Structures are given as structure tokens and as C-alpha cells.
Amino acid sequence: MTYNGRYMPTTLRVRPGDRLELAMENRLNTPTNLHVHGMHASPSGHADNIFVRINPHQTFHYSYRFTRNLKPGTYWYHSHAHPLSAPQVAGGMSGVIVVDGLKDHLPRSLRGITEHVIALKDFQVQGDSVKTENLKISAPTTRTVNGQLNPTIKIRPGEYQLWRLANVSANIYYHLHLRGQRFYVIAHDGDPVDRIWTADSLLLAAGTRFDVLVQGGPPGTTQLETLRYSTGPAGNTFPQRTLATLVSAGSPVRPVRLPTTFAPVEDFSHAKIAARHTIVFSENTAGTKYYINGKQFDMNRVDIRSKLNTIEEWVIRNDSNEEHSFHVHTDRFQLMSINGRPHHGHGRQDTANVPPKGQIVIRIRFTDFTGKTVLHCHILNHEDAGMMAVLEIVK
């Protein structure tokens, strides 16, 4: 299953304030639709409306009017057709969106740096086809970077590059590590950070993105790899794999000193809270049905109703023995704590990992748009099996 016949489709690029017109023609034999993941866009009408159902042989015209304060960074697009999102995304229906402007926060000497989209995408094989039915998250899978097996990325010693890391897979996690190097994080889920922070490894739960700076080391090669990672006793264990090879060669580049601060970020720590909600993730013992607050998804039921221009505090509790990747549409949130420990993420995000038998606390502000949207686990097998709820934003 592809967009325009390509397993790794076109990267869409927009700027804050742009209008995007997009015709979606369905040549599948099942319904589909389109979600612009993480984008601050209207959830209604012909915009980011995941309740739209495009039947086979139909064309739907999407129209997005992005706000001028749309955050620059990396986003993605994929099918959100319930309950077919997992097979369609696992089949290949996902791509990257870049909102330009992130480099404007860098020192002038770095604004012309090379950038690479690094879309992390996997597929399972059945015979001579990509498997799309009866997907098992723990089954062997082929991991690709932009649809390629272990591609080579070139860099010069001392050179900084901007890497747009995006987990555009249906179900699996990536625990990224660049041997001998560090990641300099400048944006998380399309939201620039207030100060650049560094990490030896980055966990990309389902749906997560990081924009990072990478510096070329001494001449030679190193590997971008995903480390072995377990999502808990009832979850899955993903093995270590090499994803790409970084080759440092050529004339050295004089290193540039990175700034400490990066972009302005509003802090919700002392905000007035208009409402509080508890959202509970759970599942049956067979792992075949998944719930939010004891209920399976019903598109005709409103589970949470929130007011525009207010800030709410949500507790997302995980009653299962496996991690879940919490995601909310339309407005991003500030992650306040994980299992009671304060968290300082240096910005907002749209996806957060919830530990087994644990909880996270978030604060979210609703701006610009009203209408019905959703929150869910972004492990799409779980979403399709019921772990999604309807959020209605009202005036």
C-alpha cells in the first residue's frame, strides 16, 4: 500500500501561515483517509478530520490553513482509517512533513547546514509481499531508513548536520544510538526546545520525532543503530539492528560553538488549570481488546469535552504490563511528570511513552480550533483494537 506508488513517498514541506490543498484519491479496495500527525490544524471539515471515510474509487479534497505560529520541525502523515490504520501504515502508507523555519533559531554560521530526513519505517514479509493482515508486533521485521537498507550518510569531520528523525512505523519502537557520537536535540515532535540538550540515545516510541544536530567525528565510519528495547512483561522486545552507516571523510570543518538557549517556550508549570481528567489505558489478558477508561472506541460518543483557550491537566494511567504511546491530536502538551517524578522536556510534544503500571501527567492548552478529534495509543494495533477516545473542543 503506497502513496503515489512509492514506499517512501514525497516529503511535504510547508511554512507557518501556508495553505495546503491536497487531493486524496483512493485506489485501494478498502476505505482510507489522511491524518497530518502533530500538526496544529482544524480537526473538522476538510482539514485534519480523521472521521472522514474515503471509500474505494472516491477522491476527497483536503484543505489545511496553518496558523502563522505553527511550530517549525518534523511531522508526518499517514492513514487514520479506523480500524484499518495498522495494516495501511504497515503496508507503507506514511510519509514525512517538514515545517520550515527551524534553522532560523540556529547561529547564522549554521543556517546553511545540510539536513537529512531519516524516516524510520519497517515492514514484515509474507511470501513475496509486504504483510498487512494479522500483524504481530513481535514478529521479525525489516527496518529501513527512507525505505533503504543500511544507507550511507556522508559527513565531514567537525561538520554539523540537521537530522530529522521520525518514527513513521505502525507499531514498533526505535531506541536510537549513534556509536561514539551524541545527539544535540533542537526540537521534539515538531516543537523547538528552549535550550539544546544532548543524549547518548533517544527513544522514539510509536509516532515520535526528534530534530537533532549531529557532528562529524574523526575520519572513519560509525553506525546509526536501534538498541535492544523491551516494552514490558506483556509487551514486546525489539532487537538491536544497524539502520545506517555514517561516513566521516573529506576536509575538516572548523567546529562551531552551539548556543545554550534555542527558542522561546511557554511554561505551563504555574498555569491556571480549568479542568482535570484521568485517562486510563488497559487491555484484556489475551491482548486482543484495548480500552480507555474501560471503554472501546466509539466515534459517536464524546469521552472528554474541553473548552477553547483553557489549560487542562490530564493524568494518563497505564494499568497494563506494557508501555503505551499516548498521542493527542490538534493541540500538543507539556509533559509534567513520569511516575511522580518531575519532567523537564524543554518544550511541548504530541506523543509520550507511558510506563507499564505507571502514569504520566500532562498539561494541555486548546487554541484556535474547535471540533471533534481524538486521543489514543499510537501503537496502531492497539488503536485499531479500541484504545482511542473522542475529544471535543468547544467554545
For 47-75, the pLDDT digits (tens) are 999 999 999 999 999 999 999 999 999 99
**What is the Cα–Cα distance from 182 to 224, expressed in whole angstroms?**
11
The pLDDT of residue 57 is 97
The pLDDT of residue 166 is 98
DSSP string, 53-64: -B-TT-EEEEEE
SS3 37: strand
Q: Are 352 and 337 in contact (CB under 8 A)?
A: no
Question: What distances in angstroms separate CA 192 from CA 177, 279, 388, 389, one per listed residue?
Answer: 21, 27, 27, 28
> What superfamily would CATH give domain 104-248?
Cupredoxins -  blue copper proteins (2.60.40.420)
The pLDDT of residue 346 is 93
**What is the Cα–Cα distance from 298 to 325, expressed in whole angstroms?**
20
For 273-291, the pLDDT digits (tens) are 999 999 999 999 988 999 9
The pLDDT of residue 1 is 94
Average pLDDT, the chain: 97
Runs of H (alpha helix) within the chain: 85-90, 380-384
**What is the Cα–Cα distance from 292 to 324, expressed in whole angstroms?**
12
The ranges assigned to domains in the chain are: 12-100, 104-248, 275-394
**What is the Cα–Cα distance from 334 to 296, expressed in whole angstroms?**
26
Dihedral over Cα of 49, 170, 186, 366: its sign: positive
The pLDDT of residue 164 is 98
Q: b/e map of 47-72 (b: 16 or more CB within 10 Å)?
A: bbbbbbebeeeeebebebebeeebbb
Question: What distances in angstroms separate CA 294 from CA 112, 151, 203, 297, one per listed residue?
Answer: 51, 44, 28, 10
Q: Are 347 and 362 in contact (CB under 8 A)?
A: no
104-248 and 275-394 have identical folds: yes
For 104-163, the pLDDT digits (tens) are 999 999 999 999 999 999 999 999 999 999 999 999 999 999 999 999 999 999 999 999
Measured from the Cβ of residue 301, the count of other Cβ atoms closer than 10 Å reads 10
Q: Which helix (H) or strand (E) holds 391?
A: strand 388-394
The pLDDT of residue 82 is 97
Mean pLDDT calculated for residue range 365-381: 98
Given a cut of 90, whether residue 255 has pLDDT beyond it is: no
Longest dimension (CA), the chain: 61
pTM of the model: 0.97
Just give the CATH number of 12-100. Answer: 2.60.40.420
Mean pLDDT calculated for residue range 37-43: 97
The pLDDT of residue 363 is 98
Given a cut of 90, whether residue 345 has pLDDT beyond it is: no
- Write the CB contacts of 321 (distance below 8 Å, at least 6 apart in sequence): 232, 233, 234, 235, 356, 357
Place of cell 471535543: 392
Peptide bond before residue 218 is cis, with ω within 30 degrees of 0: no
Instruction: Give me the CATH topology for the region 275-394.
Output: Immunoglobulin-like (2.60.40)
SS3 376: strand
Q: Are 339 and 354 in contact (CB under 8 A)?
A: no
